[in-house]
Structure 1
């Protein structure tokens, strides 16, 4: 009788250990089997090398892509000893594809053969890197001398004295964020964030503000 009780206890402990491992233990695999051939059959592997399709996919020439990659490569490179890391080229290409065409995140995750959560993380991290590195270079706030040059250009080119910028706003449609009420609901009847931009006399952006609630007016954002 005691032997049977000991065996039952051991079986219960074994089952409990298996349940614990399933909930909190190591992964069964780092990359799910259907996704393990992404380096040969994923969208990046099959399309990146085709120059004819390159600009259609990301709306950018190859040399511009390489320039962007050089700027942010160090920030988006990942090294993981447990699994093969997704290359910075693939990360940037995926992000630019998504920004160029929009659409379902699940579609891009399936096309590039990566997990949905990984796709979202890659896009967010790459966008942050692009903004943090390129923002101060291409969208730095003009200095005093630049404001004077812009005013001179507006006066000479458009006959607008003392003008330092043309300003306008654009609503960017989004899905309603959770628990946001009507903050993002705009006068057009959908949900959005506001892009407010200023450009000089040559149509070059000088200042932008992104992310204000869609319910705000241009004046409110300004």
Structure 2
């Protein structure tokens, strides 16, 4: 074999060996990058979108299209944690998150866990019957949930207050869509458990005595901390 051919063959062997050596490293880096990217947009407990992921979902939606924004807040969830412990409470949050995700998907939308026991959903505005959509969320969430406990299974029932609002994909999600849905949700909360309300133009936040106080995400915004 001539010297040039030997040099070419040696180079090919070296390149192949180098590729085989570095490929596992590149693969591990790609896996880590994909995991980090996923974590930025998802809630670690439920696997649902987080607030950043929900914002991205609205940005990716068709431009200038109306959407239904749903804000879902579980009623008296603290009682579940106090009575059954946080591990069972976390299981319940995951189970309720799965139900909300399924309902959102059924309507061609997406869902997120914003913080604690607060969820949100974005749905295409294919129907003007927002009350039916809100009632679906409230009714399905209120179905009993059977969870695995240390000694035996535990069946729990939790209800939710639901606020719905219409917004456009070009609107700021926090300042328009979620803000309107938040106002509607507080009106639902004022009327009792497992209730819903739809935002109407001119609707304002109910009197303070009917509210639970500042939300965790509101307190974080006031202090400049990041929200979930």
> As a proportion of its length, which structure holds more strand?
2
Q: TM-score, normalised by structure 1?
A: 0.24
Q: TM-score, normalised by structure 2?
A: 0.24
RCO comparison, higher one (Cα < 8 Å, 6+)? 2
